[in-house]
Structure 1
Amino acid sequence: MEDQQVGLIMLLLATFIFVYYTIWTFVTPFIADDNILQYFFLPRYYAIALPVVALIVGVCLVTSFIGFVIIKSASKKKGKKN
C-alpha cells in the first residue's frame, strides 16, 4: 500500500469517528429512547468514559516513550565516558 492510500484510509476513519461521536453526543440526547437510531449507539456514559480512557492510555504511552528515550540516551552517554 502506498502512503497516500494509508493516509486516505486514516482520514476516512477519523472522519467516520468524528461524525459518529458528534451524532452520539449532540443528536441522540434529543431523540426518544425507543427510536431505532438509539440502537446504533452505546449508552451516553461511554461518550465520556471512552475518550477519558483513551487520553489516559495515550498520556501513559507518551510518558513511557519519553522515559525510555531518556534512559537509553543516558546509557549511551555513560558508555561513551568509559
Structure 2
Amino acid sequence: MAIDQLVGSCMLAVAASVFTYYTLWVFVLPFVDSESFLQLFFLPRDYAIKIPILLLLVGGLGVGSFIGNVMIKKAQKEKLKKSKKTE
C-alpha cells in the first residue's frame, strides 16, 4: 500500500469516527437517561453547536488568509514585471 493510500485511509477513518461520534452525541444522547454511564463519554450539548461554529470560523479564516496571500504575491509579481518592461 502506497503512503498516499495509507494517509487517505487514515483520514477516512478519522472522518468516519468523528461523524459517528457527533451523530450519536446530537441525535441519540438526548434520549438516553441523564444518569447513564454513556453521558460520561460526551461533552455537554451546548458544545455541539459551539465546536462546529468555531471550526467553520477558523477554516474560513484559513481559506481567506490563503486567498489573500496568493493575491498579494500575484500583485507583487505583476508589479515586478511592469517595472522590468519599463527599464
TM bucket (normalised to shorter chain) is over 0.9
Partner of 1:57: 58
- Residues 1:39 and 2:40 aligned together: yes
CA shift, 1:34, in A, is: 0.7
Other structure's SS at 1:33 match: coil
CA RMSD of aligned residues (A): 0.8
- Residues 1:2 and 2:3 aligned together: yes
**Superposition TM-score, scaled by structure 2 size:** 0.92
Gaps of 5+ in 1: none
Larger radius of gyration between Structure 1 and Structure 2? 2
After TM superposition, which residue ranges in structure 1, 4 or more long, deviate above 6 angstroms? Answer: none
Gaps of 5+ in 2: none
**Superposition TM-score, scaled by structure 1 size:** 0.98
% of aligned pairs identical?
A: 52
Q: Equivalents in 2 of 1:63, 1:16: separation in Å?
A: 28
Which segment is superposed worse, 12-21 or 1-10? 1-10
Q: Give the letter aligned to residue 56 of structure 1.
A: L
Q: Equivalents in 1 of 2:3, 2:54: separation in Å?
A: 32
CA shift, 1:40, in A, is: 0.2
The count of corresponding residues between Structure 1 and Structure 2 is 82
